[in-house]
Amino acid sequence: MPVFVNKREITDDEVHAEMINHPAPDIDAARLDAARALVVRHLLLAEAVEQEIITAPEINALDEQQSEGVIRQLLDRIITTPEADAATCQRYYDQHQARFTDKKTDRILPYALVETHIIQYLEDKAFHAAFNAYLDTLMARAEIIGLAA
């Protein structure tokens, strides 16, 4: 069954081609995951058109790598997150020391050794939260038909 996003059809063939990227316990779950991924891709590319990063006719000529580049440009423009400062990183370390235990010695690793990992983790977490909020906004504005569960 095809999916429609803002009156644009995502065909069964497109979903089936995308399913290879979505391993799941059964074919129905893989199909649903693939359809959701295509809906998200469509919403982000449509938003890139709205933001004048690309024109609507140009979207059809994009390969997967080019599409990802356009989406990255959009997200870089739309999503801004704070940098993890030293106090935030130290507080995270202090509150989650069990996560920084050396498996061989069972000793807590020193802050200086894990600081860059904490910075990356906190910044990634902030980006994902902002992305999900942005995606929720796009989905709330969209008309999506045929995407079950």
Q: Closest Cα partner for 34 from 50, 48, 15?
A: 15
The H or E element that residue 53 is part of is none
Let me know how long the chain is. Answer: 149
d(CA 35, CA 12): 9
Q: In the structure encoding, which two tokens stand for residue 105, read together?
A: 């010695």
The domain segmentation of the chain, as residue ranges, is 3-145
**Any idea which fold 3-145 has?**
Triger factor/SurA peptide-binding fold (1.10.4030)
pTM beyond cutoff 0.75: yes
Q: Give the whole-angstrom CA distance, residue 54 versus residue 124.
A: 26
Segment 69-94 mean pLDDT: 96
DSSP state of 104: T
Q: What local confidence, expressed as pLDDT, does residue 149 receive?
A: 55
Rounded to 5 degrees, what angle do the CA atoms 14, 65, 53 make?
Answer: 100
Range 3-23 average pLDDT: 94
How many percent of the chain have pLDDT more than 90?
A: 93
Q: Name the strand (E) or helix (H) holding 5.
A: strand 3-5
